[in-house]
């Protein structure tokens, strides 16, 4: 790798940093473009998780998904997307950290549909924690908090797993073309 293109502190090349920024921007753009009120909880997890997994699978950097999640969350906060104020950053950051931790424990999960679906289910399940915190801060009853969090998490898991199944073929094609290693 060219030394001029390398950030010596983090080991992240300019090309990789730009790709992570691309993934973060498109996560927010998709969230803005697809603000449909479908009445189905968790539909935003489809593209969010697909882009987080694509970023982690394409860039060989330990915390690449967390970088994308942080950037996406901060952009969403600045643009005023979603409800929850500053907690909107957690909606992007928790699944990203789950993806990165899964990649640290099991680095080759990108090669298997079942493995990537399991990681996506784990990352999507962080919606449960987000829902509990948001509803508790609003002052909802505990039983309602739990019921709503379970419904939100179930929808997020379904859509997150569906979005994650797009990633293995894209990564295979990028590797076959020599775009990633």
CA atoms within 13 A on the CB side of 32: 15
Given a cut of 70, whether residue 176 has pLDDT beyond it is yes
pLDDT computed for residue 32 by the predictor: 86
CATH of 3-176, one of 3.40.228.10, 2.60.120.200, 1.10.1760.20, 1.10.1240.10: 1.10.1760.20
Q: Is 167 exposed, middle or buried (0-12, 13-18, 19+ CB in 10 A)?
A: buried
Mean pLDDT of 94-118: 92
CA 77 to chain centre: 16
The pTM of this model reads 0.88
Please report, in angstroms and rounded to a whole number, the separation of the first and last CA atoms in the chain: 12
pLDDT computed for residue 164 by the predictor: 94
User: By mean pLDDT, which of 7-11, 64-68, 148-152 is the weakest?
Assistant: 7-11
Taking the C-alpha atoms of residue 41 and residue 123, their distance in angstroms, rounded to an integer, is: 15
Taking the C-alpha atoms of residue 6 and residue 1, their distance in angstroms, rounded to an integer, is: 8
């Amino acid at each position: 790798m060219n030394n001029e293109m390398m950030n010596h502190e983090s080991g992240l090349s300019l090309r990789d940093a730009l790709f992570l920024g691309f993934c973060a921007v498109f996560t927010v753009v998709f969230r803005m473009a697809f603000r449909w009120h479908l009445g189905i909880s968790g539909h935003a997890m489809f593209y969010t998780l697909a882009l987080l997994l694509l970023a982690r699978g394409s860039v060989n950097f330990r915390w690449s998904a967390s970088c994308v999640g942080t950037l996406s969350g901060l952009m969403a906060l600045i643009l005023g997307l979603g409800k929850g104020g500053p907690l909107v950053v957690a909606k992007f950051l928790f699944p990203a950290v789950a993806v990165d931790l899964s990649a640290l424990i099991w680095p080759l999960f990108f090669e298997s549909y079942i493995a990537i679906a399991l990681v996506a289910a784990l990352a999507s399940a962080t919606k449960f924690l987000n829902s509990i915190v948001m509803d508790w801060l609003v002052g909802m009853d505990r039983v309602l908090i739990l019921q709503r969090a379970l419904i939100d998490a179930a929808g997020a898991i379904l859509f997150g797993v569906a979005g994650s199944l797009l990633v293995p073929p894209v990564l295979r094609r990028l590797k076959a073309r020599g775009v990633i290693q």
